[in-house]
């Protein structure tokens, strides 16, 4: 299952909803990973944005759930705005802050709402002769900040979205490459007995620091040219 909810809306159009959250990451003393709140919101937002955009949808609104404290609201919004700026979009942000009780660790939730025409969904369209690759490296926690150059950038993500011979794009989450590949193949009625890649197949990719793509063999060289050292072929049997 993709981490996206599709809801029939009107005239062949569907609502698309995706969400991401982070906990114990922030500026509080008991947080496990220490990072500024705009950075926390940026990475949480990019996950939800990528999920919605990867299925061919248009973005409409962002919902922010702030469990840090009320004073963090504007800083968190700045992180979301940074995501929007990198994607060259402008959409409204609404949400709520926990103001009744203090929390010992930081927590943030971000939900993105979009729409897509059913006939244009980039889901379940990978053919049997498709090739597969991972773009970016699976990173989590402090690694995301320390090895930022190995994180799939949003500009690269958008460049890959524009490639018409890339069938499907799947943001990789905490369950890793193998899980996302398994889900993608099952959704397309495809089976495999084994797979191999230079990257660790079961490592968490945290805030979608990498994506899985299925593509027509004819565009492999073009994709390699765009992704450069972040291109990792994924072989299945």
Give residue-wise pLDDT tens across range 31-79: 999 999 999 999 999 999 999 999 999 999 999 999 999 999 999 999 9
Domain limits, the chain: 5-120, 131-236
pLDDT at 1: 52
Q: Which residues of the chain have pLDDT under 50?
A: none
Closest Cα partner for 192 from 184, 204, 201, 200?
A: 184
- What dihedral do alpha carbons 136, 158, 127, 129 form, nearest 10°? -50
CA atoms within 13 A on the CB side of 214: 23
pLDDT at 191: 86
Residues 131 and 122: their CA atoms lie apart, in Å, by 16
The domain 5-120 belongs to what CATH superfamily? PurM-like, N-terminal domain (3.30.1330.10)
């Amino acid at each position: 299952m993709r981490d996206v909810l599709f809801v029939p809306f009107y005239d062949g159009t569907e609502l698309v909803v995706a969400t991401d959250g982070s906990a114990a990451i922030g500026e509080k003393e008991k947080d496990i990973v220490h990072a500024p709140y705009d950075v926390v919101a940026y990475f949480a937002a990019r996950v939800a944005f990528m999920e919605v955009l990867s299925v061919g949808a248009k973005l409409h609104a962002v919902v922010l759930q702030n469990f840090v404290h009320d004073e963090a609201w504007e800083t968190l919004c700045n992180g979301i705005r940074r995501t929007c700026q990198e994607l060259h979009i402008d959409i409204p942000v609404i949400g709520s802050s926990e103001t009744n009780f203090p929390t010992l660790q930081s927590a943030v939730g971000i939900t993105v709402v979009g729409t897509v025409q059913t006939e244009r969904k980039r889901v379940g369209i990978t053919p049997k002769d498709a090739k597969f690759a991972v773009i970016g490296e699976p990173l989590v926690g402090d690694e995301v900040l320390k090895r930022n150059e190995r994180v799939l950038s949003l500009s690269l993500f958008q460049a890959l979205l524009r490639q018409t011979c890339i069938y499907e794009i799947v943001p990789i989450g905490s369950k890793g490459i193998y899980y996302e590949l398994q889900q993608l193949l099952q959704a397309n009625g495809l089976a495999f007995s084994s797979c191999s890649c230079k990257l660790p197949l079961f490592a968490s990719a945290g805030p979608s620091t990498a994506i899985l793509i299925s593509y027509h063999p004819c565009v492999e060289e073009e994709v390699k040219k765009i992704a450069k050292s972040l291109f990792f072929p994924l072989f299945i049997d």
